[in-house]
Amino acid sequence: MSDVKWFMHGKWLEYCSCDFGCPCETMAEPTYGHCDGVVAMKVDEGYYGDVRLDDVIIAATFYFPRAIHHGGGHMQPILPEHTTEAQREAIFKIMSGEGQPVGSMFQIFSVIVEHIHQPLFVPIEFEWDIKKRTGRLAVPDVVTASTIPLRNPVTDKEHHIRTVLPEGWVFYEAEVGAGTVKGIGDLKFDFSQRHSSLAYFAFDNNGMAYSYDEAKQRFGLDN
């Protein structure tokens, strides 16, 4: 375990090329054989030792040739241009998974991501409304993404679907939306009406910072 104590919680926004529901959540094969897209985290409160991470956005585009647990993944980390050198070092240390328990999120990605592209330090626009199931991510010359609520194809009314994972390693509960994404950087993709998740996250040295019940009390989507 790392000697440096760290913690961060905030807002999770995810887009992938799978159909709504994302088979990866059940360890199934991706809808179209591969998995690509973008994920972003807005840190509401966080620290790595003495380095504050409040309000930092952490994003990454990704590509996996098969289900993510088979590995072989590509990822390009993206951080805001205004982050300090100390913040960047802290975030990359966290993302390395070093000293973190086997099965925790960053440790898992340190194994399944085999190709890390040059990190970018650029402007990032992030919008997130979990109650309305809407979101937006924009990184100039890299990726644009937006989330709208699912709609019933018969009635055209909003269709409310929630992912619940009591033993989750990324989040415990997420609202599902319809994502439209275009990647034009190192990792290229272009899709619409595909899976998007909005959730709260909380991580620390031990992986998930809270138990399922603790997280429901703090972030429960019915609160």
| Domains in the chain: boundaries | 6-219
pLDDT per residue over 166-190, tens digit each?
999 999 999 999 999 999 999 999 9
Read off the pTM.
Answer: 0.95
Q: What is the DSSP string of the chain?
A: --SS-EEEEEEEEEEESSPTT-GGGGTPPPTTSSEEEEEEEEEEEEEETTEE-TT-EEEEEEEESS-GGG--EEEEEEEETT--HHHHHHHHHHHTTTTPPTTSHHHHHHHHEEEEPPPEEE--EEEEETTTTEEEEEETTTEEEEEEE-B-TTT--B---EEE-TT-SS-SEEEEEEEEEEEESSSEEEEEEEEEEEEEEEEETTEESS-HHHHHHHH-TT-
pLDDT per residue over 77-95, tens digit each?
999 999 999 999 999 999 9
* Res. 222: pLDDT tops 80: no
pLDDT per residue over 5-64, tens digit each?
999 999 999 999 999 988 887 778 999 999 999 999 999 999 999 999 999 999 999 999
